[in-house]
Structures are given as structure tokens and as C-alpha cells.
Structure 1
Amino acid sequence: MSRWLLVTGGAKRLGRLIALTAARSGWDVVLHYNASAAAAAATAGEIRALGRQAAVAQADLADAAQVETLVQRAAAAAGEPLEGLVNSASLFEWDDAASLTAQGFVNHQTVNALAPILLIRALHQSLSPDQRGAVVNVLDFKLANPNPDHLSYTVSKYALAGASRVLARSLAPRVRVNSVSPGYVLPAPGQDEAEFRRLSRRNPLDSAPDPQQVADAVVFLLNHDTITDQDIAVDCGLRFLSLDRDVGMA
């Protein structure tokens, strides 16, 4: 029996790992990508090698018109309606109170908050009367203890966290909405690997959180049909610390 899941940003990094983990648990997966067509095709091949079905769908999440049709196009690529959605893709550009620009702020809100909300609404509207849907939004540990870095990004994730709570209530019982807040699990593009390993252990558990554990938490929430409006922090307690700067920039 097929259960189709759309994973935004599913071609690479954490989105790819979530897609593969979901496939291992029985989901068929549509991989959303923007400019990473080759990586999306490669990940789709990995999913098929696991014995599951896979498809790809392209959209620029900064373009609301493309986002509005993404769920419909993903279902067409799958050949069946979707039952799951993971909002993993995000815009992550550095700014702070001094350097913030109006356009940069709007760009983060559009990709990181508005696009997921539109996709959740579209999933809800597309469900047949006998279907139930599951959504997991990827947030960030820093919402529990923010610092000045990545101001536009952080505020956009606060917006998505709030939307998660509202939509979990307004779309019940048809759609469950949960979230996962990763800690410092993957190096930033271009970051030195040794420096990442050193910084990733700066947390109360003195242990680097594993991106696979983030993916496992996402899939747990997708599959557990009695849980809604919950957030799982996979951060080794990093959210307990007051940081002057983002860990990756310390």
C-alpha cells in the first residue's frame, strides 16, 4: 500500500536523510528541489533501491505562485494523493539588527514561513474524505534561547513555530502538525569539518547530535497518529545555553 510524502529540500543534506529514513519506514517520497535537479534524481534512485517509489518536483519556494501548485504537481508525479509533508527546506542567510534589510527579512519570511503554510493548506485541501495527513516542520533549537545572529532567519522560524501550533488546532482531525528542532548537526557550507566537530560538542551532554537522529524524530512524528502540536528538540540540550553568537560562528 502506498503512502506518499513530500519532502521540501529533499535532494540534499538533512532533507535527503529525512527522505531516505521515511522510505525505510514505508513511505513513498516526492523530493522537492529548486536548483538541485541532479541531486534530487540521485536521491530518488537511492529511494527506489530501498524498494520504495520516488518522484521529484521542482519549485522556487520564494515564488508563492509555484508553491501554490507544488502539492498538486507532486501528487501528479506520484500518481496518487499525498498523505505526508515535511517542510525541511529553508533560507539561512546571516544578518543581525544592524545589517537587516527589508528585502532580506521578507525573503526569509516567504521561504521559511509562508511557503510551509501554503503547502500545509494545500495538503489539507487535497485529502480525500477517508485520508488523514501528517506534517512535520523543521524548526531550530535556537528558538528556545535566541541570540542576535541570523535575525531574519530566526524570526521566520518563530513564525513557522506559531503557525504549527495554530494549524495543528485548525486542521484537526484531518491533519496532524508537529515539529522537530535540530541542534548543531551539520556543518555550514564551507565550514571546516574539524571546527564543526569541535563546536558541535559544546552542549550539556558533551555529545554531537547526529543528523540521523533528527531524521528519526521526524519520521517518528509522521508515523505516530496520536501526536499533534508537539516539538522534539534533537540538540543534546544546546537550547539550555545562553550563546552570544551562533555556535557555528563562535
Structure 2
Amino acid sequence: MMHPTVLVTGAAKRVGRVLCEHFAQKGWNVVLHYNESKKEALALAKKFSEDYPDQKFCVVQGDMSLGEITAQKMMSVLPEGVSKLDALINNASVFDPGALAKTEGELLRREFIINFETPFFLMRDFYLKYKSGVIVNILDTRVHNEDSSYAAYSLAKKSLMHLTKMAALEWAPDMRVNGVAPGPVLPPMGKDDSWLSNVVAQTPLKRAVGLDNLVNSVYFLITNNSITGQIINCDSGAHLI
């Protein structure tokens, strides 16, 4: 039996880990990308190999702040015996605060290279190498509003949203490209549950986005071959306000 293969960036922790678990359970081979979380990535790949011995798993290290070099490195790694990637999920990101007036060059460059530039080159190289497949970009409900508290981050994610639609049009019919824009799922690094509760309280549904709901949204876009250029707002209605 042939198993499809997915590359997940930022795979070792948080949302990325749950995405990998879901795809492994669904019968996929998984390439787990990590930057600094080598121990966690290797442990997760080992667990998958034990739980799903008919599937293949491997890890690849890549510093998302290095742009095109990292994309080329990641696109060159496949599990032993696997000849191609079928799907790419751009999940890795950084989330740094800063209003427009307080955004300096270093912050702007960091947010754009990690949240937009490296995903761009991963998408480009995935298309050029395989010519077919499916891409899902993890965005943010902030792409729909003008809140500037995380200005550089929001601008990078807005750019990634427009890239999603542009690539969907240019690369059709052979490759599908979609996005999921989550709302409050987990508190960001350095924040606690009270931060998340405050954000959740402002959403129309007044509930946190379940990790299962977010992952199911991604999987739906990966497997529904009639959809391209779509953004699913899995955000408890936050895009409405």
C-alpha cells in the first residue's frame, strides 16, 4: 500500500505536533521539520515509527530565518524509500508584539522572513520539484483586521494569505493551495491562560478554537480536491468583528 507523504514545518510542538499526530493516524508518511526542538522531533518520529510500522517518518532541521537556503534544504529530505512529497503544511511561525510606530527593521525582517519569505520559497520549490500536490498555509484571523498590536506579524501573515490565493491561481490545475486562519487556540509563548481567556471572550462564539477543529480544517483542505484558493476561518467567529 502506498502512503502519501506530508511535510509539516514547526512539527515538534504545539499545533505542529497535533497536525503530525493526525496525519500519522490517517495513514500518511510525515516529514517533521524542527529548528531547535531536535529532541522532541526525534522522539515524536520514533513514536510514530513504533505506532505505525507500515508508514515512514523522518526529521529535518531548518532555521526558518535563513529563507531560500532553508527551503532548499528541507525540500531535499524524504523518508527512506519515499520518492515524493504529496503535501506541504506551512505551520512554523513567530509571533512578536509591536505596534507600527515601535516596529524596527530587525523585527520587521524577522517576522517577514520566518512568516512569509521562507514559506514562499518552500511553496515555490515544492511546486518546481513535484509539479503536483497540495499546500495549506496556517495563517491567523488577524489577516482580516487592522489591529496593529502585532503589526509586523500581521503584515507578514496578510502577505502569506495573498500568496496563497495567487499561487492557487497560477499553479492550478496541478497543485491546490489553501489556508486556515485560526483564532485563539493556545496562548503564545510567554503568555498564560488568562491571556487566552481575554481573547476568547472577545469572539462571537466565546470559546477557544479546539485543536481537533483546527486540524480537521487542515485535513479537509488537504483531502478535498475540489477546493483551491480558499481560506477557512477557524476562529470562533473572530473574523466577523
In structure 1, runs of 5+ residues without a counterpart are 242-250
For residues 132-157 of structure 1, the C-alpha deviation after alignment (integer angstroms, 9 at most, x for no partner) is: 30100000011112312110000000
1:102 aligned residue: 105
Q: 1:49 to 1:76 in 2, by over 3 A?
A: closer
| Separation (CA, whole Å) in 2 of partners of 1:218 and 1:163 | 17
| Separation (CA, whole Å) in 1 of partners of 2:200 and 2:206 | 9
Instruction: Find the partner of 1:53 among 40, 52, 56.
Output: 56
Q: 1:40 to 1:98 in 2, by over 3 A?
A: same
- Give matches, 1:172-191, under 5 Å: 172-191=172-191
- Structure 1 residue 195: deviation in Å? 4.8
- Structure 1 residue 105: deviation in Å? 0.7
For residues 60-100 of structure 1, the C-alpha deviation after alignment (integer angstroms, 9 at most, x for no partner) is: 11112432323432226663211110000012111111210
- For the 8 Å contact 1:20–1:46, the answer to whether it is kept is no
1:149 aligned residue: 149
1:162 aligned residue: 162
State the TM-score, normalized to the length of structure 1.
Answer: 0.89
Q: SS of the counterpart of 1:98?
A: helix
| Separation (CA, whole Å) in 2 of partners of 1:97 and 1:197 | 25
Letter in 2 for 1:89: A
In structure 2, runs of 5+ residues without a counterpart are none
Q: 1:133 to 1:71 in 2, by over 3 A?
A: farther
- Structure 1 residue 236: deviation in Å? 0.9
Alignment of 1:137 onto 2:137: yes
Aligned residues: 238
Q: Relative to structure 2, which stretch is displaced further, 228-237 or 62-71?
A: 62-71
The alignment-based identity, stated in percent, is 30
| Separation (CA, whole Å) in 2 of partners of 1:59 and 1:78 | 22
RMSD in angstroms over aligned alpha carbons?
1.8
- Give matches, 1:1-250, under 5 Å: 1-51=2-52, 52-75=55-78, 79-127=82-130, 132-197=132-197, 199-241=199-241
Letter in 2 for 1:12: K
| Separation (CA, whole Å) in 2 of partners of 1:47 and 1:181 | 27
